[in-house]
Structure 1
Amino acid sequence: MPDTPPVKRKRTADSSPADPDTTPVRSKIWMPYGDIILQAESTQFRINRDVLARHSSVFADMFLIPLPSDEPTVEGCLIVRVSDTAKDWELLLDVLYDPFQESVSRPFAVVAAMLRLGKKYDIPQARDDALSRLHFEYPADLEAWDALPDHLTKIEDERGIHPDLLNLVYECGVYSCIPTIGLSCLHLYSLEALFEGVEHPEGSCVTLSSDTKLTLAIALERLLFFQRSALGWLENNAVIPHKSCQTRNACIRSKKDINHTVTWWEKETHDVTYATGEWPDSWSGKLCEACETAAREYTDTSRQKGWELLPTFFGLPKWKDLKDLE
C-alpha cells in the first residue's frame, strides 16, 4: 500500500488544523470511558484508543509509543490531532462503534469516509466494506453489470450521486470503477450539466475537476463513434434483410423506422447506451424471426466489443490490465 500519512499529535504545517482561536466543539461521539480525544478540524471526539488500534495498524503502531504527558488534555485525555475532515471521522466512528452490516445500503458520505480513512489509516474493515459496495455497483464484468437493477442497492441512490462517485474513485484510485461510473454519468446527464455542476437534493452542487471533464468529453466522442459503427447494420443491408427473410420489404421498413428513432434520440440526448446495452425491448417483434435473430446476434457481438473497449474510452487500460491502486 502507499506510504501512510502520519497521525498528528501536534499541529504541523500540513495538518490544516482549525484556526487557533476557534473553540473546539464536542461531537456527539463522546464515550464516557474513552481514553483519548481525537480532534479533526475543530471537532473533538472522545473515543477508546483500543478501538482505533484494533481496526487501524497506523494507530496501533502509534499507540505503542508513549504519549507525552505534558500535552494539553481534555477531561484527563490526551488530544490526538488528525488532518482529515470532522465529517469523515464522525461518519467512520459511527460505523466503528456499530457492527458492520454488509446487506445494508449505506449513504454515499459514509462510504466515502470509510474508503478515504480506511485507506489512509489502514483500516481494512472500513476500506474493504466500501470497496465491496463500489465493485458490486460498478463491476468490471459485463454479465454482472447486466444483472444489476436500474438503481443502486448497496449505496443509497440519490440525485447527483454519480458525479460524487466519479470524484471519489479518482481520488482513491479505484480505477476499475471509473468506466462504468463514467458511462452512467454520460447516460444520466448532458455534458453541459456535468461541466456546470450537478445539483444535490439539498441544493449543493457537485463539480468535477478540469481533467475529469476533459476525460468525459473525450469518452463521449469515442462512445458515440463506436456506437455509430455498432449500429451500422441499421443503415445497410449487411445484416437485414437476412437471407431467410420472407418479408423483405416489411423488415427493411422496420429497420428504417428503428434507425430513425435511434438517430433522432442519439442526436437529441447523446445517448450512449447502445454502445454496451442489451437489445432494446422496443425493437422486439418489429422484424421477422430470422432478421431479429441475426440482428440480436450482431448487437450482442458489438456490445461485447464495446464493453471490452469501454475503459479505453476513458483513457484507461483494457479490463484485464486495469487495476485499482493498492
Structure 2
Amino acid sequence: MSGHTRKRARLDPEIAASNLEQWMKKAGPDQTCVLATVGEGDDIVEHKKDEEFWYEDGNIFLIAGDTRFRVFKGILADLSPVFKDMFSIPHPRVNTSSSKAAQLCPVVHVSDSPDELRYLLRVCFPKTGASRYLSPDPTYDEVSALIRLGHKYQIPQLVESSLDYLKRYYSDDLEVWAKAGRKKRPPKFRKSHAIGVVNLARLTGCTQLLPPALLSCCLLRTDAVVAGAAREGAPGESLSLDDIRLCYLARGKLAAAGVETALRVCQPLVSDTCSKTLRCVVFLIELVVKLPEQADQLCTGNPFRSYADRFAFLRGKLCGSCYAMLEERDREERRAMWKKLPELLGIDVDGWAADDKDASAAGAETSGSTA
C-alpha cells in the first residue's frame, strides 16, 4: 500500500477549471459527467454520483465528501441567502456533454457530509408531492442534519420546524413531558441522543430544550454520558466539558429532590374533609414507614415520576377524600419541583414552565377566595 497522501491544493478557480477541462477532454465524451477534485500536480480524485439527487438538467454540481450531487442552483439560492452568496462567486465549471452549446455547470464544494446534505436536499427538492420539513417519525440523524444545516445555510423555517418537533418530547410543560411516554424521547431516538439535543439547543439558543434534555442526560449511565452518541455518516455527539460537569453535579441534587418530593407527597396529614380521621392517619403513617424499603426507587435521579404506585395499596383503605388528597399532592409537588429543574441543573432559563406558573397562580387565587 502506498504511503503517499494526496493533498488538495487551493487552486485559482480559472486554473482549476482549465485543468479539469483538459482532463475531461482526455477522458473522452463518455466521461464528460464525471466530476473530480483537482489537486497538486493535476491529480484527479473522482467522486461517486449520488443516485437520489442527480437531475440530468441540473445546473450546478455540489461535492460533499466523496459524493457529487447535480441539482438546481436557483432553488437553493431562493431558499438560502448563504447558497445565494456562495453561488455568486466564481467556481470551476465543467461542460456536461460533448456539445459546444451545452451549459457549463459550476462545481461547488461544501464541508457537509453526503448524508447530511441529502437530508437537506430532500427538503429543497421534495419528491413525495407533499412539502414538509420532517418525515412523520424522523430519526435523530435527520433532525440533527436539518437543524445544523438550516442554521448554517440560514433557513430559519427549517430550523424552527425541527425544533418544534423536539419540543413535543423535550417540553417545558410537565404534563406534556409526562405524556411523552416511558421513554421520554421521539420514537426513533436512542437514549444517548439526548446528548445531541443538548448540543442542538446550545447551537440554536433554544434554551427551552435544555432542562429536559440535560435531565435525560443525567439519567444516562456515566460511561454513556462520557462516550457520547454516534451519528450516521458524521462525527459523533459529545457533551461539552461544561455540560458534563453540570450533569455530574446535578445528579446528587436530583436524587435529593426525589426523596424530598416523596416525603412531601406521603406526609401523614389527612384531608380537611376526612371522614375517618383515625383510620386514615394510621394508614398514612404506614405509607411513610414503607418509604425506606423503596429507597433505591426514590433515588433514581428522576423526581418527576408519579408516586401513585407507591400509595396505590391504600385505595379502599383511606377514605375517598384522603386518597384524592394524595393524588393531588402527587401532581402539585412534582409540578413545584419541575419549576426548580433549571436551578437543580445549574442553568438559567427565562420563562421556564410559564404555563405551570400561571396555572398555580390561578389555583392560589381560587383557594384564597374559597377560604
TM-score where L is the length of structure 2: 0.68
Pair 1:97-2:125 in alignment: yes
Q: d(CA) in 1 for partners of 2:157 and 2:95? A: 29
Matched AA of 1:148: A
Pair 1:284-2:312 in alignment: yes
Contact 2:147 2:158 in 1 (8 A): yes
Contact 2:228 2:237 in 1 (8 A): yes
SS at match of 2:150: helix
The Cα offsets for residues 256-282 of structure 1, whole Å up to 9 and x where unpaired, read as 22x12431324xxx4133x23334335
Matched AA of 2:261: A
Q: What corresponds to 1:73 in structure 2?
A: 94
1:118 is displaced (CA, Å) by: 0.6
Q: d(CA) in 2 for partners of 1:316 and 1:74? A: 55
Q: What corresponds to 1:87 in structure 2?
A: 115
Unaligned runs of 5+ in 2: 1-9, 13-36, 97-103, 354-371
Larger radius of gyration: 2
Unaligned runs of 5+ in 1: 1-9, 13-17
1:206 is displaced (CA, Å) by: 5.3
**CA separation of 1:37 and 1:103: change in aligned 2, threshold 3 A:** closer
Q: d(CA) in 2 for partners of 1:115 and 1:94? A: 14
Contact 2:191 2:216 in 1 (8 A): no
SS at match of 1:231: helix
Q: Which residue, 223, 228, 232 being the options, matches 2:259? A: 228
Q: What corresponds to 1:34 in structure 2?
A: 58
Q: What corresponds to 2:180 in structure 1?
A: 148
Q: Which has the higher contact order (CA 8 A, sep 6+)?
A: 1
The Cα offsets for residues 223-275 of structure 1, whole Å up to 9 and x where unpaired, read as 2232332223478xx54355743323333123322x12431324xxx4133x2
Q: What corresponds to 1:4 in structure 2?
A: none
Matched AA of 1:253: E
Matched AA of 1:142: L
1:316 is displaced (CA, Å) by: 2.1
Q: d(CA) in 2 for partners of 1:152 and 1:226? A: 19
The aligned length equals 296
Q: What corresponds to 1:60 in structure 2?
A: 84
Pairwise CA RMSD: 3.4
After superposition, residues 54-203 of structure 1 pair within 5 angstroms as: 54-63=78-87, 65=88, 67-68=89-90, 71-73=92-94, 75=96, 76-98=104-126, 99-100=131-132, 104-151=136-183, 156-158=188-190, 160-187=192-219, 189-197=220-228
Pair 1:240-2:272 in alignment: no
Q: Which residue, 325, 328, 350 being the options, matches 1:294? A: 325
Q: d(CA) in 2 for partners of 1:317 and 1:197? A: 24
**CA separation of 1:193 and 1:80: change in aligned 2, threshold 3 A:** closer
Q: What corresponds to 1:23 in structure 2?
A: 46
Matched AA of 1:110: E
Aligned identity (percent) is: 23
1:134 is displaced (CA, Å) by: 1.1
